[in-house]
A and B are shown apart, each in its own frame.
Chain A
């Protein structure tokens, strides 16, 4: 079974910034603004989850550098 790779913090943040940018433009429709808002809230929640739960993973390279 293959697991979907979790989006990284950077990916989530890029999407959030894009939504915020679009929401700031004058010609966004009310419908899109609502969608952007909802998606924005989801992303913020994801980001917060990422920030509070994620741990750093250290892998030691097997390669020797002698």
Chain B
């Protein structure tokens, strides 16, 4: 049996509404990748371009806020959007987000945005502010599940104590990442009690993974942050635009922790020297400051007495500190020392498959084999 579908008669408005309903039902969201063509911006706000391949060309429409940065004809974009039929201007895809595609495009976009923002003076050395050293309160923007976060927190804990860290847990790659990072920066800046420094970190990845930190939105948000910024993205060789806009750049997340706070052992050494300075200055004042000899002798002996009594206490106190920093106590907290043939293994390269290792725990040693 053959059924014939009766054509329906509609007004233009009804037809547009019907097509849009059908599109919305069938394709609420599409991702289209193609080469950009006929790119134009109207009234500094509306963005129009086509994406094409060898045969077809599709029109896109969005706002400048969708743009990852300046674009150029010939770049390859991956655009997520909603297909729509406009009542007057015909068919186009309304842009939700734009990603750059392919190494060539990513590199080209990086160069274009670098040029644009450099000419605006965003990366000027004169804009760089000093970070409080060490800070007491920090705002951390990263993914709590990342290795970068674990490294940063570990190095920070080893070097320094007493920091108040507020973590904004955001995505650090993929489509929502840039928006989330921008909003986290704005959140900290709008806070009634803002942290003294903002840290933005992410581990290494492909050029595609690191795109978020080369977007105009993230780079500008870092640059305009009222709170000084420390940004460390990727490996040592990668430099993102967000890092260039930051007050301080870390080569890696671990390096960021090293730049942020001093090493407590070193400071304890410095304090010992300051203690000696105090003793020396006190004696100097007593010796040089008094003309009356008898008074001088009395003051001098008082000063010496005080210095000696403090030094006695100080020795007891130093013992206490050494106890706290004793490696045995570290082992009790669940860390272990790995040795090979009596030598401490610090790097992966020191242990090869099949090597037998000794693992020192708080209450003894176990043997292990590298797999």
Contact = CB atoms under 8 A, between A and B. Distances in A.
B353 to A, nearest CB: 36
Contacts of B140: 58
Contact of A16 (B179, B274, B279): B274
B330 interface: no
A48 interface: yes
A44 B136 contact: no
A52 B329 CA distance: 12
A52 B134 contact: no
Interface residues of A, number: 37
Contact of B187 (A9, A36, A60, A61): A61
Contact of B264 (A23, A45, A51, A60): A51
B317 interface: yes
B162 A55 contact: yes
Interface in A46-66: 47-48, 50-61, 63, 65-66
A37 B271 contact: no
B324 interface: yes
A30 B264 contact: no
Given A24-B281, A52-B324, A33 B166 contact: no
B302 A65 contact: no
B321 A52 contact: yes
Given A23-B281, A33-B286, A58-B167, A10 B303 contact: no
Contacts of A37: 278-279, 281-282, 303, 306-307
B282 A10 contact: no
Nearest to B275: A44
Contacts of B134: 9-10
Main secondary structure of the interface of A (DSSP, over half): helix
A15 to B, nearest CB: 12
B244 interface: no
B162 A8 contact: yes
A65 B325 contact: no
Nearest to B307: A37
A51 B161 contact: yes
Contacts of A45: 314, 317
A48 B68 CA distance: 48
Contact of B162 (A16, A41, A56, A66): A56
A28 B274 contact: no
A31 to B, nearest CB: 9
Interface string A18-43: 01100110001110011011101100
B306 A65 contact: no
B187 A65 contact: yes
Which of B184, B271, B278, B290 lies at the interface centre, i.e. has the most chain A CB atoms within 10 A of its CB? B278
A54 B271 CA distance: 17
B174 to A, nearest CB: 12
A54 B161 contact: yes
B59 interface: no
7 contacts: A33-B282, A37-B278, A37-B279, A40-B275, A52-B324, A54-B162, A63-B187
Top 5 A-B pairs, shortest CB-CB distance: A54-B161, A54-B162, A65-B180, A33-B285, A65-B183
Interface of A: 8-10, 16, 19-20, 23-24, 28-30, 33-34, 36-38, 40-41, 44-45, 47-48, 50-61, 63, 65-66
